[in-house]
Structure 1
């Protein structure tokens, strides 16, 4: 079924990894998809391999980015998947710049786009999905700086934005989705596996072997389609190898 036929889907951070899988899932369901990323090169590579995807290059943490993106394609579904690599050093060896990297990227991009969705506002019925992380629920490893807190803040942002939409009568739907397990084969996942394995003093393959119920980027893409086309209750959700579920 082409569940997103006639729908515009914008994926910020959509040129590779999980973001690309989300874009591909939306395309497979009939959506018009705009992949947004900082790198024009990775967007061009995606476009060469998937000619039906539209591309827009912009830094999602620039204040004017949401207006630029919405001018390129007004979304029925907006997915914020942009993010920085988590720090990879013990807490006492980090400086503030390293510790706050995910606040300055993941949280800032989410804040800017949620704010713009409310102020514009996006069309009634639009859905906004912030891609968080299972670290928001588990706390993450101690060498990952402010990563877990940043990903938890994305959940708070979805909840706060929903309350504002309800208060203003905008009929927008804000949600956060947390992939529960780290994912090999993605930039963030591979960097995290390498970092955590080194911190624990084990080989990466040993670490991967110990991860239960692991979801894939394709699972995340399917979960986003479900959130975009169904009527789930709540603002925070998790996806694992077992599927989509509410998150605490």
Structure 2
């Protein structure tokens, strides 16, 4: 029997890349899983290729999104993995729309669903996991716009919401999970590899060769399963090739 047998897991941003890996991993642990994404075509492909997953096409940045999602499946574990592609240009060549893309997607979706949780839309014992990025700790490259700050805000948001949940006696757990290394084969990862290597004037292959202790999307999925178990103390955690650890 899987560790999530009898649990409902909602993965917002679950149709591709890291989100899809999380969906596949929690399914293998016996959970009932709802994958939420904006792209109906990607969700259809996911449902064809992944037996048993439920899907919902919805824009996680819309005010009504939490109500729509929770009416479809009330989660015991809610994972927010939705994210925009970071820009790939020097600061002076970006528009504000470019610079703020990850605030308008990653942070806004996290904010709306965390707000709904604190307003009583999730039952006591529920766990919320926000997928951040190692750029939140390293600062990221100068050509990535507001990406690093947005991912750091997700860490702050998890901590703020945990304090508020404790103050209100809601019995909720909020956590941020920080994959430490860029991940080839994902949309965000490949965009980052191409953008950073071009900015540094090296080939993508040379950039990847410089990386060590890299985690895979499957490692992130396993880390989510561990956090969903609710036994680890803390709010922010990192995952790398060395495994899961409390964030410093």
Which residue number corresponds to residue 76 of structure 1?
76
Q: SS of the counterpart of 2:79?
A: strand
Which residue number corresponds to residue 8 of structure 1?
8
- After TM superposition, give the deviation of residue 95 of structure 1 in Å: 1.2
Which residue number corresponds to residue 190 of structure 1?
190
Residue pair 1:87, 1:99 contacting (<8 A) in 2 also: yes
- After TM superposition, give the deviation of residue 51 of structure 1 in Å: 2.3
Q: SS of the counterpart of 1:120?
A: helix
- Residue 129 in structure 1 maps to residue 129 in structure 2: yes
Residue pair 1:121, 1:170 contacting (<8 A) in 2 also: no
- Residue 18 in structure 1 maps to residue 22 in structure 2: no
- Within-5 A mapping of 1:1-248: 1-248=1-248
Report the Cα distance in structure 1 between the residues aligned to 2:92 and 2:3, rounded to whole angstroms: 49
Residue pair 2:2, 2:29 contacting (<8 A) in 1 also: yes
After superposition, the C-alpha distances for 1:29-86 in whole angstroms (9 at most, x for unaligned) are 0000000000010000000001200000000000100000000000000000000001
Report the Cα distance in structure 2 between the residues aligned to 1:10 and 1:104, rounded to whole angstroms: 21
TM-score, structure 1 normalization? 0.99
Deviating above 4 A after TM superposition, structure 1's stretches of 4 or more consecutive aligned residues are none
Q: SS of the counterpart of 2:211?
A: coil
Q: SS of the counterpart of 2:167?
A: helix
Q: Structure 2 unaligned runs (5+)?
A: none
TM-score, structure 2 normalization? 0.99
CA RMSD of aligned residues (A): 0.7
- After TM superposition, give the deviation of residue 120 of structure 1 in Å: 2.7
Q: Structure 1 unaligned runs (5+)?
A: none
Residue pair 1:3, 1:30 contacting (<8 A) in 2 also: yes
